[in-house]
Structure 1
């Protein structure tokens, strides 16, 4: 099974073949660039276990006209090197591409130190940075070509599990900055439950929607693709056409996709009830990824029951909430 991390390597080789001035920066993470190193060894710089130095090198390369791509554990790139990302890169809108791997619970038994559950929250406060996560190999190819090869400016791309990933669609829609990708139909239509799933949880979102349809609920599923920026017209359509909006993410419920979308909704009127599903703050367990997801309630049966309960509550009190905002975690 092809993984999103494989797609990253394939895109980098493809872009260099096309003549892009890409330089890969490793922070003791050269395995992320194996295909590039095998073919273009001069395009890989090793900085060692020093994410702050790596970001500084990226800033210098960007100022010199190159497109630096740095990859490593998402936890260490975003937490250890936040000052450099903020001050050296985002302040000047430099064309640096940050590819955080092992996001969410992908690090599994490595535990709390390596689990990236706060990376989106950390970077969301920075102006100008694009935050994105693909859902499968083909999606990663499209996002990689656009964000690494065409888009000018700082980018944070999340990559989760290393292998054994589902490929949800044979063909994805083309990437449009800030737009969710509709999965249920070609275009968004009104729904009882609109599920916006990020990255690795898109499969769970699709399965949960199928079960909810059996219970009589009209559902619509989006592959989020982007956490930041979010297209305001798209946000308005979702707000107008949904009785309940649910976000699914392998990230803390604080500061992630849910909070970014909720902030966008706050600019709209007649906001639908809103349910954020993700990891609790300070989730400190180690184990197999599936086990950790279940502990957070991120399993199809648990997701379905939580949404169904929310819909039952909504139907009992819909008159009270009409035109207001109900947001729950």
Structure 2
């Protein structure tokens, strides 16, 4: 764990002392948008045209934010258009690492040893956290974006004109956008980031505040899903996939490691069925690696788990019947 300061790597944990023990996530710094014609998006610069083979995605199989992009890449049919490199699950004194002699965890573009080298290639004097996902532009040799919420929007529509891309599959339909945005806002602050606010808190009151908000939202989601199959409308949307990547990690990691232990997801009848329903969407299971997920959190976050012992359990069965088809397609 660490960060770059003026292009130099420093092994440094999050500084919660200045926030009274509260964890605050740093905003993404690269916010360019890939668009169908290369025109500027809502932020950043223009010139990032959606072209086959131009972009490379850096991810971790353990990271929930990166997981979103892998799901969209898979479901939209972007695999042959956007290449990918996966960092090793261990993220210790040098941050995210590659293993040059391991094809599963090597940098396929530059054969770098560390993810922070990707960042300094794009910006030699970069200051900030080195995160995944990172969408790299091979043509301009720079980072197009490191904001997962925006990368999945790009994957959802910008590449629709390319061969084999499912242009009919729309996870952000215009008619549902206001409600999707509303659900995303609450889920992001209290669930996606909420588990981190609980797990990384260094003051009792800040932990309890995050814990309460998390389970208030999980109770709200449980009730919402008692009436409908998906979070918004009658179809899968980005709101579902943004929630999914937290839920799939909850029982294996957040429940114990982050002290989010009121109850596991498997004890929520609707949320647990919903989780299995999404996991069983064709292609999604291929993006889930519980082994790497557990390895990353329990080994890398030594401030929370100094022994680095990885729990053997829990036993998880995401292939069990989900019962969500009672709501129809």
TM surpasses 0.5: no
Which structure would you say has the larger RCO, counting Cα contacts within 8 Å and 6 or more residues apart? 2
TM-score by length of structure 2 reads: 0.27
